[in-house]
Structure 1
Amino acid sequence: MRVQNLRKTRVSDGSTRRPEDTSTAIGEERDAAQSTPVSDDGTGSKPIAGNSVLDGLGKARNSTPLRKPINVATWNVRSMSEGKVEIVEKEMIAKDIQILGVSELWWLGQGRFTTDGGNMIIYSGMESAKKRKGVGFIVEKSVIGYNPVNGRVMTLRLQGNPINISVMQVYAPTTDAPDSEIIEFYEMIQGTLDSIPKRDLLIVLGDWNAKIGKSSEESDIVGKHGLGTRNERGDRLYDFCAINNLVIGNTLFEHHPRRLWTWSSPGDRTRNQIDYIMVQKRWRSTLQNVRTRPSADCGSDHQLLVAKLKLRLKAKKGSRPPIRYDVDNIPVQYAVEVKNKFEQLMKVNEEEQTPNELWEDIKETVKNTAKKYIQKKRRIKQPWISQHTLNLADSRKEAKAAGDQNKRSRLNKEVAKSVKEDKRNFIERKCQEMERCKGDSKAAFGISKELTKKWVPRMDVINDANGITLTESDDIKKRWVEYSTILFEAQDQQVYTRGEIMEEEPPPLRSEVEQRY
């Protein structure tokens, strides 16, 4: 079949449009010059998507078949400002992504929280706002533990079936960084990688700010479908993969160039492949496809990179949260039935029932009667982002797909302005709601607390007795048991401050008490 209406202009393999630009310009370099956006459509027939030249590699022993395909992605979001979380979650739903690693969050501190959409965000940022770093994950379930190393490296461990999965998200220094910082970065990720259990399926993803290019000879690390020419940072990344038996998934599958580049310079003058998804060689057979999704947009100059893997995540079993009832609306039937059952319990002879048995009966009575008559208290979370803002974000996505950089830049400012307006309207609605709570101080205080309290994320990582960081929930529970046991044992022991044994005084005599009073 003849292919028609194909544009002849394109950006070839990470090279630039103009002769004064160098092909080694990568990462976060920002050119002040403006130019007309170019198209990345190639000529000729469309290659077959998903064709790999290394299908035979990585099928060595210990290759465990994992059946259910899932999508694992990485995205440099260029700041997760207010309102962008909802936009990113919307893209995750549209692209059916279960695990998303993000770079450049620009958040401070470390911790985790649950979004209004039900996803868990786990992140690791900087202690101060001097440098724009930060990495994190957005996942649905199956989290065993995580290790927030610093603002550039973070690991996540998920419960899989039949083996567990460890994912590492990184954000490498840019080309402006000195070599000493690059060496320190690779030493840090190597130490973190060595601490991951060897039996786990390992996935490494993130923004490496390096050009790996394509392999001109047979290689089990880099395939023949990379983009551009390898640079010095790419050589260091190649050595890192060789030491740790990693294969770079972006280079294994044949795709159109628009599905390969992951970053574009200002003015769309340069397009390079600097974000990667890697797996260990023995798990190469789990990779089904790796490509970018240009239709996804969050206002970043990076593309969403998605890998399709054959995995099966296992739901992590945990204790169910307690049921909370609406105690403000207790019906009369509940009080009557509880009163009647309590009267029957009081008639039981004390010799026939121990206090523990009586307590169990009382507890079951209250619980069963509440379940029968009292409604559960449901916390309704309404996202404060308006539909108008989401429509502007969709228009920005359409402008990106059309290649209209001026319109996309204008819409990007309108989205930021609309998000601030939505936040202001949300606060005004809450204030009006608080004014209507006259006579109900509890509800008014709850709204006031919601608006004024300082948001603090939950942090689960602790250190053991030797100062080693514990990242998994089971190890953390054991450490708390150990700490509590030692604490109470120390309280039971008698402490002598002067090194001498103090004898306890005998109890007072009756005559002494009578004489005193």
Structure 2
Amino acid sequence: MNTYFKHKPSRKWTWRSPGDIIRQMIDYIMIYRRWRSCISNARSYPSAIMPNVENDHNLVLANFKVRFNVQKRTHTKKLDIEKLRIPEVKERYEIEIKNRFEALSSIIEEASLDEALYIVNHTIRKTAEDVIGFKRYRREPWISDEVLNLADQRRTIKAKMSINPQDQDLKQENTQLKTVINNKVEECREKWFNKQCYKAEEANKKNDMRSLFQKVKTLKKGIKLNDRRGSIRDKDRNLLTKESDILQRWHDYDTSLYNAKIVTDERVLEQLWPNCRRNEQEPDLLENEVRAAIAKIKSRKAPGIDGIEGELLKEGGQTVVQVLHKICKKICYSGEFPTLWTKSLVVTILKKCDTTTCENYRTISLICHASKKNTRDHHEPIEEYYRISNG
């Protein structure tokens, strides 16, 4: 690297012969091409004094600054659920669900419980992707779809310019689009801030403090803690940096929270069900019960590990009710529970400043909406039976 930078001759030579007759550059600093941009300067220092060392070589130093690649945050694609509020989109989604499940009805009947549930989830998810699509990621909330479409056009033009760099028409079109995009961004930003301020004023007039503080927080963007998830400490306060070690630490911590040892007292159960006829056959689950349970699913809630939002089940119509009714009957007759419904996503939310301690996080478990519905299907009849039995 000491041949890569321009220096005067006195800063290039690294060795001199006895009698200082010949001066040559025979000492070099070598580096991989990948790290070449990290070297800002390299030269020899003839005036450097090395004590207790008699040497005819000069000291060669390089300024090395490490620049690691920034890990880009991967944004999970989210379905544009708000489109289901449009009557035309909702009708199209319901028809598409019906057509696809009619072709798969025999396969679902013959498949095992886990396989049938996988087919149902995959079909619902794929239909939603094809009909309503995904939300477009906006780095700033005020950027409109029009600006994003213009950015896509400019990106296409720049790709063509890389093939034909001498095309003046493409250059002119790229410059014009750049000007239009910049003007549109400023216009959208101004409109967005005015709209948020107007909503904050309206919320204040209505004494809606929740909406008011939400708008204020959005406008000022708040003070965010440095949520550094790249490392965590174990029980002995040792810092873990490997992904596998971090996941294992979170697994152990969550296990200690949720897997408590509970001893069942059978005598309590005997007291709860004094009038229960144990040999009585349990009635079959009705479609109306499944429909009522689906209707009670809350909207705008995060999905579980299956990626199925509650709105996809609620807007699926009679077809989704019939399919989930079949799944629930399989559960009742087999006495087994789907493997997927026994899993959940654990989300960690920082609540204190030390980001390397598990105890400083609030954990939220995201359960599949369909499994919540199945639990409600069985819980409500038990409540009703208990209420009737105990008068």
Provide TM-score, normalisation by structure 2: 0.37
Higher strand proportion (structure 1 or 2):
1
* Rg (Cα) greater in structure: 2
Higher relative contact order, structure no. (Cα contacts within 8 Å, ≥ 6 residues apart):
1
TM-score by length of 1: 0.29
